[in-house]
């Protein structure tokens, strides 16, 4: 029976054999939510970039430079990492270069997988509709915060396990922990995450609307997929079944 497991931090990804699995990278606050929003608003591609300096080179080459460090927009970038930066900008058919504190790193670390997707509450049902039909194992990779486990990514991983019901065997105790947490939290996600360190950090920066937005279900039907270092909208021809 195909298995689902959860990697609670990119620093633990060495414990998993990615080659036979589809990886879903989760950074609810905010990279995977922002990526879903950008692809949902017609961005042509999002190029993952490791450093701020490299991102500025892409800007000189005509890319929209986007991203943050410690949650704050990088000086000299066109956009930060708030989904609202992408909703309120002309990004249709544009190429974006993105670097964030944790999300881009988690995506790069997942690159050995059969496929690398991004997951968020914003594309929850679209993501589940695809995952449930996969013939292979699935690994949910939480971006966390600088190698540490965070609450909101684990919560979303639990929501995915909950939605898949019994279609997958659990690869460890983590899916059981996460799904039990989600079952307790699902009626009020904002209350469930209010003590999270990144929620506190974003609240301290006046970004409560980002938190509210990133906890919304099914704003988009897109599934972002990583090819090389570019994230694009999944096409029918990309599907593994
Ligand atoms: C991350 O990459 O850790 C997050 O996206 C940071 C943020 O945007 O607040």
**Which residues touch 194 (CB under 8 Å, ≥6 apart)?**
none
Phi and psi dihedrals of 7, rounded to 5? -100, 110
CA 202 to chain centre: 17
Q: What pLDDT score does 160 carry?
A: 98
Arithmetic mean of pLDDT, 66-90: 95
Percent of the chain surpassing pLDDT 90: 99
| CA 186 / ligand 1 centre spacing (Å) | 23
Arithmetic mean of pLDDT, 145-151: 97
pLDDT digits (tens, 9 = 90+) for 160-190: 999 999 999 999 999 999 999 999 999 999 9
Arithmetic mean of pLDDT, 40-61: 97
Cβ atoms of 103 and 32 closer than 8 Å: yes
**Which residues touch 41 (CB under 8 Å, ≥6 apart)?**
86, 87, 91, 92
**Which residues touch 25 (CB under 8 Å, ≥6 apart)?**
32, 103, 106, 107, 110, 116, 117, 118, 119, 141, 143, 226
Angle at 119 between CA 114 and CA 125, to 5 degrees: 105
Q: What pLDDT score does 164 carry?
A: 97
Arithmetic mean of pLDDT, 132-141: 98
Prior bond of 30 cis (ω within 30°): yes
Average pLDDT, the chain: 97
- Cβ neighbour number for residue 128 with a 10 Å cutoff: 18
Tell whether the model's pLDDT for residue 151 goes beyond 90: yes
| CA 169 / ligand 1 centre spacing (Å) | 30
Ligand 1 nearest-atom number relative to CA 31: 5
* Contact residues of ligand 1, CB 6 A cut-off: 27, 29-31, 68, 71, 81, 100-103, 143
Q: Using CA atoms in the order 103, 204, 84, 185, what is the torsion angle rounded to 10 degrees?
A: 70
- 106 band by pLDDT with thresholds 50, 70 and 90: very high
Angle at 142 between CA 236 and CA 82, to 5 degrees: 80
pLDDT digits (tens, 9 = 90+) for 8-22: 999 999 999 999 999
Q: What pLDDT score does 109 carry?
A: 97
Ligand 1 nearest-atom number relative to CA 104: 2
Q: Where are the beta strands (DSSP E) in the chain?
A: 3-7, 21-26, 45-48, 64-69, 72-73, 95-99, 115-119, 137-142, 169-170, 224-227, 230-233
- Please determine, looking at this structure, whether the domain spanning 3-227 carries the CATH number 3.90.1560.10: yes
Q: Tell me how far apart the alpha carbons of residues 165 and 76 are, in angstroms, rounded to a whole number.
A: 45
| CA 68 / ligand 1 centre spacing (Å) | 7
Q: What is the DSSP letter of 217?
A: S
C-alpha count within 13 angstroms, C-beta hemisphere, residue 206: 0
Q: Using CA atoms in the order 130, 131, 137, 141, what is the torsion angle rounded to 10 degrees?
A: 120
Residue 24, helix vs strand vs coil: strand
Ligand 1 nearest-atom number relative to CA 80: 8
Ligand 1 nearest-atom number relative to CA 32: 5
C-alpha count within 13 angstroms, C-beta hemisphere, residue 33: 27
Tell whether the model's pLDDT for residue 89 goes beyond 90: no
Q: What pLDDT score does 6 carry?
A: 98
| CA 27 / ligand 1 centre spacing (Å) | 7
Q: What pLDDT score does 209 carry?
A: 98
pLDDT digits (tens, 9 = 90+) for 188-237: 999 999 999 999 999 999 999 999 999 999 999 999 999 999 999 999 99
CA 35 to chain centre: 7
Segments making up each domain of the chain, as ranges: 3-227
Arithmetic mean of pLDDT, 118-145: 98
Tell whether the model's pLDDT for residue 88 goes beyond 90: no
């Amino acid at each position: 029976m195909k298995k689902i497991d959860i990697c609670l931090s990119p620093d633990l990804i060495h414990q998993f054999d990615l080659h036979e699995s589809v990886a879903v990278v989760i950074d609810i606050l905010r990279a995977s939510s922002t990526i879903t929003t950008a692809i949902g608003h017609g961005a042509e591609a999002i190029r993952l970039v490791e450093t701020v300096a490299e991102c500025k080179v892409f800007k000189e080459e005509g890319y929209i430079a986007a991203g943050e460090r410690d949650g704050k927009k990088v000086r000299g970038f066109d956009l930060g990492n708030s989904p609202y930066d992408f909703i309120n900008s002309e990004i249709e058919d544009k190429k974006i270069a993105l670097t964030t504190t944790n999300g881009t790193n988690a995506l790069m670390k997942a690159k050995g997988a059969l496929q690398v997707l991004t997951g968020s509450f914003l594309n929850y049902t679209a993501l589940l509709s695809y995952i449930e039909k996969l013939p292979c194992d699935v690994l949910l990779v939480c971006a966390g915060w600088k190698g540490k486990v965070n609450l909101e990514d684990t919560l979303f991983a639990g929501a995915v396990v909950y939605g898949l019901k019994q279609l997958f065997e659990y690869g460890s105790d983590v899916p059981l922990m996460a799904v039990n947490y989600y079952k307790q939290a699902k009626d009020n996600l904002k209350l469930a995450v209010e003590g999270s360190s990144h929620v506190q950090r974003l609240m301290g920066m006046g970004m409560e609307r980002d938190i509210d937005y990133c906890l919304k279900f099914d704003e988009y039907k897109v599934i972002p997929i990583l090819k090389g270092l570019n994230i694009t909208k999944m096409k029918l021809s990309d599907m593994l079944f």
